[in-house]
Amino acid sequence: MYFCADYAEARQRFLEAARERGAQVESFVLDGLTGPAGEELGTDVARIGAERGPAVLVLVSGTHGTEGFAGSACQLRVLRETSWPDLPIVFVHALNPFGFAHHRRVNEDNIDINRNFLDHDQLPPDRGYGELHDSLLPGDWEGPAHAEADAALFAHADRLGLRAVQQRITGGQYTHPGGLFYGGAAPCWSNRTWRRIIRRYLTGYARVAYIDLHTGLGARGAAEPIFRGGPDPDAPRRARAWYGEALTDSDEGTSSSTPIGGNSARALAQELGDGQPGSPQITAITCEFGTQDGLTVLRALQADNWLWQQRAPVDDTVRARIAGLVGDAFNPDDEGWRTNILDGGLATITRAATSVRIPLGVDSLDGDAVI
């Protein structure tokens, strides 16, 4: 019902639903680039609920482009089926519109924008990705070079351990622009746009609940809330109270995700005062919806990256097979999976909407003090 066939349909349906709810709507257009059918690309913001209040809920989709199909569907369901009139809700639809439209996880410059929110004057050094790069970008996709690259990658895994290899690959790298999980050499368009949205829509609140909607990690069909921080020391305990035992933490090694630098929640904290006196209480998570095992998802990312790095024409049948890998990894054509995502997403969002409205030291909206 809420999943769409492509970015253009998702954008149209989101804007229609937002306007039907009487939302304040603003679009940030990515100039100079279009979607596959020549359509305009943009990040759309919709704000519903109370005009002001002590708390706000923020829901972001499409940070990782093609993962936006699930995030957009969850946003659409919230717009159509929920009502928390005392709570301002800000929807950010398709933070990475190029990736969403072109079915890529990365943006127009091969940048993983969730590795781009950091100080580009002090980029981190290579933390082991360089040693793996050639194994991740083979000379061919369905030939001997690929088989050799796989053998080398598995040798690295045997030597270092799977978790260490995962961290080297996914943690973010800044040395290979044509590689996986590239964080960029400067703030990208989506980075600059997200910061504009924060300053325009999210200032002046005492409490901020942030959910960034993703797919590709964890148990198939499950919604995994991954703690993404808050500048105050009580944020981990608060997040656990909100989301219960399902909450995981990459830094503690309990998550399907490894620790990452430069994520969008970090930018939110920076723009809102970073814990300084007067800054809000932020409770941030990534809501990750599982699809396939990690190695299969990595294979889809390798295939997509290999395809986009090719200068020579690629056979249409190979393109189709790679498109299938990417779709299965991030937007499965599986009604059962989609139902689970919509239900799990709504449950997670409802937890946030309920919890952020309760002031610190109070255990219900009726005002009963915590014992």
pLDDT tens digits for range 115-166: 999 999 999 999 999 999 999 999 999 999 999 999 999 999 999 998 899 9
pLDDT score, position 370: 26
CA nearest neighbour of 282 among 295, 293, 269, 273:
269
pLDDT score, position 361: 58
pLDDT score, position 363: 52
From residue 240, how far is each of 87, 210, 254, 350, 352 by CA, in Å? 21, 14, 13, 15, 11
pLDDT score, position 371: 19
CA nearest neighbour of 362 among 54, 83, 49:
54
pLDDT score, position 259: 76
CA distance 17 to 308: 34
pLDDT score, position 262: 86
Q: Which domains does the chain have, with CATH numbers?
A: 7-119+182-294+329-356 (3.40.630.10), 128-170 (no CATH)
Residue 325: both structure tokens together = 């890998």
pLDDT tens digits for range 249-278: 987 777 778 777 789 999 999 999 998 998
pLDDT tens digits for range 172-191: 999 999 999 999 999 999 99
CA nearest neighbour of 301 among 125, 169, 160, 163:
169
Q: What is the mean pLDDT of residues 303-309?
A: 97
Residues with Cβ within 8 Å of 240's Cβ and at least 6 positions away in sequence, in order, are 247
pLDDT score, position 360: 62
Q: What is the mean pLDDT of residues 180-205?
A: 98
Q: What is the mean pLDDT of residues 197-216?
A: 98
- Residue 367 reports pLDDT greater than 50: no
CA distance 102 to 108: 9
Helix or strand run (H / E) with residue 247: none
Share of the chain above pLDDT 70, in %: 97
Q: How confident is the model at residue 200 (pLDDT cuts 50, 70, 90)?
A: very high
3-state secondary structure of 113: helix
Q: How confident is the model at residue 362 (pLDDT cuts 50, 70, 90)?
A: low
Q: What is the mean pLDDT of residues 88-93?
A: 98
- Residue 368 reports pLDDT greater than 50: no
Q: What is the mean pLDDT of the chain?
A: 94
Rounded to the nearest angstrom, the gap between the alpha carbon of residue 9 and the centroid of all alpha carbons in its chain is: 20
Bridge-partner residues for 60, per DSSP? 92, 212
pLDDT score, position 216: 97
- Residue 364 reports pLDDT greater than 70: no
Share of the chain above pLDDT 90, in %: 88
Helix or strand run (H / E) with residue 24: strand 24-34
3-state secondary structure of 298: helix
Residues with Cβ within 8 Å of 212's Cβ and at least 6 positions away in sequence, in order, are 60, 63, 114, 228, 263, 264, 265, 284, 285, 286, 287
Residue 1 burial class via C-beta count within 10 angstroms: exposed 0-12, middle 13-18, buried 19 and up? exposed
pLDDT tens digits for range 225-255: 999 988 899 999 999 999 999 999 987 777 7
- Residue 290 reports pLDDT greater than 70: yes
Exposure b/e, 113-134, CB count within 10 A at least 16 = b: bbbbbbeeeebbeeebbeebbb
pLDDT tens digits for range 75-87: 999 999 999 999 9
CA distance 298 to 295: 5
Bridge-partner residues for 113, per DSSP? none
pLDDT score, position 257: 80
Bridge-partner residues for 209, per DSSP? 57, 283
pLDDT score, position 19: 98
